[in-house]
Amino acid sequence: MMAWFTAHRLAFTGTFGRLAGAPLTTLFNIAVIGTALALPTGFYVLLANLQGLAQQYAPEPQVSLFLAADAAAADVRAIENRLKAHAGVTSFRFVPRAQALDTLRRRAGLADLLAGLTQNPLPDAFVVIPAAGNAAALEALRSELRAWPRVAEVLVDSDWARRLDNLLAIGRYAVLMLAAALAFALVAITFNTIRLQILTQRDEIEVSKLIGATDGYIRRPFLYLGTLIGGSGGLAAWIMVWGALQIFNRQLGALAELYGIPLALTHLSATDSAYTLLFAAWLGWFGAWLSVRRHLIAYDPI
């Protein structure tokens, strides 16, 4: 156990020393990986902010429930009670048919038209504010309300929600695709870096194998190197996005003052930051693992 620990510590400090020994190469490697990762990270941050803004400033979706024209006061009360008891309803407002006609009459140009009517053609209605704002929940609520007795029509103004959902979904796919492509690039970069490192250390690998080094012993420093390069690249990406946000926010500050609303882009949450770093480190490890698998076989003397 102690020996295992010592072996890992030696491999790690050796790797670290090697990186520090060639600072310029290390720096460029990390910068390349950092830039590759900063792109999808930056887009993701923008998307997350957009989603946040949309939820903050978009009007709340409404569901309009129209009763049948011949609905009695008892029916209205029954619907009212059901709405009160419904978990998916945040609040609602009753619009009596007389009040609706009144509102309509006050609109310019309609008074004459309405004067010709002998009776009120409008039904009683409820304006319902649902608890969940996404398209699927709204649709479900609509079908449910529609089935209630004496309900003639239920209208959902969920188009905007659906459109925003679609747009954000497209954005998410774009970010995912970009991330996949650049993750592949990162794996390729570490693969190549490790290949060069294996070539540089071929004497050491050969001698170590001859005097009884296990494959694990040979592999370990390269895997550490890949992980360290990937993780550092992730950190570089995080810092790049952070810097870009600082610049953006300074510009947005002026805009926000103009419109009188607080506008500022926020960075990745702590959890997302941790995931990004871990993912980058894992990609580095994976690239190194592939490279070691591919290139160390050549050095087995037997």
Residue 299 binding another protein, by CB under 8 A: no
x/- map, 161-200, another protein, by CB under 8 A: ----------------------------------------
Nearer to another protein, 161 or 205 (CB): 205
Q: Does 73 participate in binding another protein (rule CB under 8 A)?
A: no
DSSP string, 220-232: HHHHHHHHHHHHH
Q: Two tokens at 223? A: 């895997």
User: Does 212 interact with another protein (rule: CB under 8 A)?
Assistant: yes
Q: Does 2 bind another protein (CB under 8 A)?
A: yes
Calpha distance 280→302 (Å, rounded): 36
d(CA 263, CA 265): 7
Measuring CA to CA, which residue among 156, 157, 134 is closest to residue 144?
156
Q: Does 209 bind another protein (CB under 8 A)?
A: yes
User: Which of 122, 128, 125 lies closest to 110, judged by CA?
Assistant: 122
Distance in Å, CB of 10 to another protein, minimum: 6
Whole-angstrom distance, CA of residue 63 vs CA of residue 138 = 8
Q: Which of 3, 87, 115, 298 binds another protein (CB under 8 A)?
A: 3
* 20 forms part of the interface with another protein (CB under 8 A): no
| Separation CA 263–CA 249 (nearest Å) | 8
Residue tagged 């592939």 (tokens): 290
Output 59 or 301, the one with its CB closest to another protein. Answer: 301
Contact between 10 and another protein by CB under 8 A: the answer reads yes
Residue 214 as a binder of another protein (CB under 8 A): the answer is yes
Looking at beta carbons only, is 6 or 25 nearer to another protein?
6
Task: Sketch the per residue contact string, 226 through 265, with another protein: x for CB under 8 A, - otherwise.
Answer: ----------------------------------------
Rg of the chain, C-alpha, whole Å:
32
Please report whether residue 54 would count as binding another protein according to CB under 8 A: no
CA distances from 257 to 73, 261, 266, 295 (A): 50, 7, 18, 59
Exactly one of 74, 203, 254, 260 binds another protein (CB under 8 A); that residue is 203
- What are the helix (H) ranges across 107-158? 111-115, 135-146
Distance CA 108, CA 66 (A): 24
Choosing from 46, 50, 168, 213, the residue that interacts with another protein (CB under 8 A) is 213
Minimum Å gap between C-beta 296 and another protein is: 12
Determine whether 186 is exposed, middle or buried from the number of CB atoms within 10 Å of its CB (0-12, 13-18, 19+): buried
Options 110, 207, 261, 274; binder of another protein; rule CB under 8 A: 207
Query: Is residue 204 a contact residue for another protein (CB under 8 A)?
Result: yes
CB 154 within 8 A of CB 63: yes
Residue 301 touches another protein, criterion: CB under 8 A: yes
- Give the interface size with another protein as a residue count (CB under 8 A): 22
C-alpha closest to that of 218 among 20, 30, 14: 14
Rounded to an integer, what distance in angstroms lies between the CA atom of residue 53 and that of residue 266? 11
- Identify which range of 31-39, 112-120, 131-139, 204-212 contacts another protein by CB under 8 A: 204-212
* Closer residue to another protein, CB minimum distance, 6 or 269: 6
Binding region for another protein (CB under 8 A): 2-4, 6-7, 10, 203-204, 206-215, 217, 300-302
